[in-house]
Amino acid sequence: MSVSFADPDTDPVPLHIIEQGGIDDWLADKSSDITSWVTASGFTGAIGQAVAVPGADGTVSMALAGYGNSTTRSRARFHLAAAVPRLPAGAYRIASGLPADRMETETLGWLLAGYRFDRYATARAPDARLAPDASLDVPRLLAIAEGEVLARDLINTPANDMGPSELEEAGRDLAGRHGAAISVTHGDDLLAGNFPLIHTVGRASDRTPRLIDMRWGDSGPQITLVGKGVCFDTGGLNLKPGGSMALMKKDMGGAANVLGLAHMLMATAAGIRLRVLIPAVENAVSGNAFRPGDILLSRKGLTVEINNTDAEGRLVLADALALAQEENPDLIVSMATLTGAARVAVGPDLAPYYCDDTGFVSAFEAKAAATDDPVWRMPFHAPYEAMIEPGIADLDNAPKGGFAGSITAALFLRRFVGDSTYAHFDIYGWNPSDAPARTKGGTGQGIRALLDTITGLTGT
């Protein structure tokens, strides 16, 4: 679906943002009609409250939206978006009460409050639309919202309609939109091109594995984004139980997120040289599926002992990361729905990430806080390196014992990266329940903070 603002020339209804406990002060100089109406509505300024005030002709003359207090705002994000479903249909403009430093984020939240995944069934979005404040960079906000919507739509699409070929099509559509170059290596050509792990993981499926390689921009820092594109994960021969397989359409959430971020970067004309690498596979079961106990050779020349075929995401990422590092870019970012351990550690709302570059970390965490895009830094804990060294091969794809699963996966990936600044995101990519501006289903995580951080590298 698309996102859009209301036309500011349509005489939008003024919307006043009221903090909890501030309604009496706001009403102090208002007419008795307004005071009586608002009082009778029970409006207190709590997050999610909204009231439309009628004028003399019965139409909406103004509206109020609750903004809570510092405590309730700390427990949520996109606070204004919570009121959007409770406003009558029409166009609105923010007239008062919203701090200037919250205008951009709350406006984005309103845009995203209109998101519905409607490919398979009619889904009614809120009819209240916002006319943007004159202080805002409207094209940039639309680019951010569109990137988020792209990520959500890709994740929400079921695997029967989102396999490796459809993910390639999404990449080609994005490249065509922005004039980017794209090449794709398919099937047995992966072996000829020295991508053995991508081929091995995907070969059991009748949906051909592939590596998608997109490039855009000809000047500025070189940024390479690598996204896990496992379009469905059965677990392979280490077959997942049914309950664990139910959400595996989202196992390409890393790819969806880097495509959403790529759109944001290209649509805002970021001054970078961008490369996007997506190993797109389906981890299936058949007679030629890779097996527990196999030892595989990677693009980098490191051997990997397979102790669990359900730890396949790090394998396909390994070949893509090795390719990325061959150009020694300024920054490599990998995004993947990689481990259940990360979800156990921080839940679905935080985006766990790994990075040892203090300059990147400082800038990124500041942007994450400013954009309401919550993240949590995890450690590349060097003493755990021994856990991913099985002795019979260079690396173990699934260390036994169950300890530090997200950390050992991150350490595994880091073995395929050299001197470039490297940040790895072990995201969930899914909202388990509806929240303001964040419907249940696929979601972007960390990509708005990454957009601002990467843009900051160029000084634009």
The amino acid occupying position 357 is: D
Cβ atoms of 132 and 107 closer than 8 Å: yes
How far is C-alpha 458 from the chain's CA centre?
22
Residue 392, SS3 per DSSP: coil
Cβ atoms of 387 and 400 closer than 8 Å: no
- Count CB neighbours of 116 within 10 A: 16
Compute the C-alpha angle 330/200/404, nearest 5°. Answer: 60
Q: How much of the chain is helix, strand and coil, in % rounded to 5?
A: 40, 20, 40
Residue 16, SS3 per DSSP: strand
DSSP per-residue letters across 20-76: TT-HHHHHTTS-HHHHHHHHHHT----TT-EEEEE-TTSSEEEEEEE---HHHHHT-
Cβ atoms of 109 and 437 closer than 8 Å: yes
Give the Cα separation of 64 and 47 in Å (integer). Answer: 11
Return all residues near 245 (Cβ < 8 A) that are at least 6 apart. 233, 234, 235
Q: Of 72, 282, 336, 31, nearest to 162 (Cα)?
A: 282
Ramachandran assignment for 78, one of left (phi > 0), alpha (psi -120 to 50 degrees), beta (any other): left
129 in catalytic set: no
* Catalytic position from the list 172, 240, 343, 377: 240
* Catalytic position from the list 77, 299, 300, 314: 314
Q: Of 221, 337, 235, 322, nearest to 277 (Cα)?
A: 322
By the 10 Å C-beta count (0-12 exposed, 13-18 middle, 19+ buried), 401 is classed as exposed
Give the Cα separation of 28 and 434 in Å (integer). Answer: 36
Compute the C-alpha angle 153/158/159, nearest 5°. Answer: 120
- Count CB neighbours of 396 within 10 A: 21
Element (H, E) at 336: strand 331-336
The pair of structure tokens assigned to 237 is 């021969």
240 in catalytic set: yes
Return the active site residues: 240, 314
